[in-house]
Structure 1
Amino acid sequence: MHTTPQRRLGTGDAVVLGVGSMLGAGVFAVLGPAAAVAGTALLPALLVAAVVATANAMSSAWLAARHPESGGAYVYGRRRLGPAWGALAGWAFVTGKTASCAAMALTLGSYAWPGHARAVAAAAVVAVVAVNLRGITRTAAATRVLVVAVLAVLAVVVVAASARPAVTDPFAGWGDAGPLAVLQAAGLLFFAFAGYARIATLGEEIRDPARTIPRAVPVALALVLAVYAVVAVVALRAAGPDALAASAAPLATAAGDGTTVLVRAGGALASAGVLLALVAGVGRTVLAMARDRELPGALAAVHPRFAVPHRAELAVGAVVLLLVLTAAPVTAIGLSGFAVLLYYAVANAAALTLHRARPWRRALSALGLLGCVGLAALLPPVAVLSGTAVLLVAMAARAVLRGRRGRAAPGGG
């Protein structure tokens, strides 16, 4: 009988889960809005987002190697900065990634069957939770299949777009956008890179985490950055920023007629891959928070046969299902972006405490911290305000509950 998660994932599995978590959102959903903000300066914006993501990735990897536990920045903040910072990171992650789950499910529904997007999204959530409940190795195997399929679709799209006559130079006109537009577009594009944290949040299920996690995180990030850069270049060259911004399916626009069905299939598969890994990662953070009584202790249960936090997974699935049936995709994406950037800000702050004798590591973690705070502040005001409100309510409720527990404890007054 298993009472804790088992270490079953190797480096290849961890890389696949990281790649599967990142591929999809940027390529199929974010290129259009980012092009609308930055024009051809979409490419330097992608570089800015990648730099911040790299700083965050390395901070997460160093922390995960030191603290190989489920929970990611929730655990790191709690261990390195104190329980309140850990709780803030945990709530930011659960809030942001639960919203991301809903956004990815709705994206899947929109690509697969536009006229019945919510029904398809709801069915996808149920299916993903069912797969994850069977065990983490099944999650890795399913994600591997989805990643291969999405990469095959993107390869066809890149070839088709490259064969079309060029309508714009993707490396010209960068100065027309201005620094603010580049940073705003980078904030949107960062949403596409955020999946690398999934590797760290599965720390208790990775073999030899001190070696595996620092290797898997940068490899996954580098692979995804290469894919995004190639797709962005050929899409800008074939269609131009205005056409990408105006299109509901920018990759179909870039590749030309005859690719609509293919792109829809690729978008649905990519969203499924992201959703599969997202639900697994959020469930592990809920598990860690329940162990520390930041959430109800019943959510800390681990299934005796499949060694997964089944109650946490079911709870996450229920909340995602509610959002899928009630929320608009744009609302979910905005809330997710703000909360996830704050989550990584806590991770970078925690990493600063690790490297007192290694200035270059401290500098990289400081860059990640400043980048996260800056990009979060530049998101649309509704995202900033709604995200701040959710987290303030969560932290206030935590303070009240802890105060009551303190008074109820023996000697507590």
Structure 2
Amino acid sequence: MKISVIGCGYLGAVHAAAMASIGHDVVGIDVDERKIASLATGEAPFFEPGLTEILSEGIASRRLRFTTDMAEAQGAAVHFVGVGTPQQKDGYAADLTYVNAAIDGLLPFLSPGDIVAGKSTVPVGTAADLAPRVAATGATLVWNPEFLREGFAVQDTVDPDRLVVGVPEGDDRSADILREVYHPAVAKRTPFIVTDYATAELVKVAANAFLATKISFINAMAEIAEVTGADVTQLADAIGHDARIGRRFLGAGIGFGGGCLPKDIRAFAARAEELGRGESVNFLREVDAINMRRRDRAAQLVVEALGGSVFKKNITVLGAAFKPHSDDIRDSPALDVAVKLHGLGAWVTVTDPEALKNAARVHPQLTYVDDRDEALRGADAVLVVTEWDEYRRELAPEHAASLVNGTIVIDGRNCLDAAAWRTAGWTYYGMGRP
């Protein structure tokens, strides 16, 4: 099937390459000439495991190409729209500027029978507003939200755990065409849920709101544990054995970040206010507040560990990306804590396997070192804030102790073996742990 993908950022680039990898003829379209030039050579403009390989394969097979010319979308049977919906500069609501621009740019090149599939995370009601503009061309709008995990985005596109498609009432044809698009997943009996526009839009934001709530819940328990002497990791293990709760996403630490969860829960709360149902999701404001407090708490732990002041102390921060297997620093808790410590007068050295270039561009006041061991050398305290394997599994505490000035480690992700680090002579501080 011939497919166009409008918007070649994180979502669109992965989607275009993944669709080509399962046999479709795909053209990716974006207004950013530099991004398109990079993608056209098979180079991803961001780090995502497995993406460079399927980009190169798709281009070599001629099933995948990239352009800045929207006219190249003409003739495609399905047009995916995967542009960004950032937070508005003057509030929490989602900015739909790029979505509207993408639809307006695409309209002249649509033909009767075409399918326009929205993938962007949008406020509920957006698809219903856009549908008449698309229908006027004889094409049909559907909403097909993405559920990508950064670091696993290729896998989640090719082999998703569910597919959701919001279609106009009684439109079986559009759903059948999307089944053809996702034929490998459908053949594996992946749940394929056909619903209305509003439900499809809500599925995405509700999923993110639930995950954010689960993370902030265990971090709220960490706040209680810190004043009672309880161990939040044991608490999470115990309640996680309950099948109704589950252990995943019950990792207490410095909280969530990235370009999705923080933005999406704020936009959801803002949209609920617009709908006159703000009270229904008031809890999301506290979810957000708990999340931001944990960053403050991590910085406070470092101050406490160093006797009440970090002024002119050497602090090594292990991690810059908001999560491992990514170079994404958007709303990164790791960098937020590093900047807070720098503001308190510390000499902060940051290392990360993938995100240093992005971090240095946004926060040039920090010191960045590629080599982990070199970053550790001479540190008065070490702060682990992104749970890369290089830090949680491959860094022996005995080896780390031979490099630093002070054997103080603050585990911002509760990802280290506390007993092993203490045995090696380290003073260990966890989040919500004795």
TM-score exceeds 0.5: no
TM-score scaled to structure 1, two decimals?
0.24
Larger radius of gyration: 2
Flag the structure with more relative contact order, 1 or 2, with Cα contacts below 8 A and sequence separation at least 6. Answer: 1
Greater fraction of residues in strand: 2
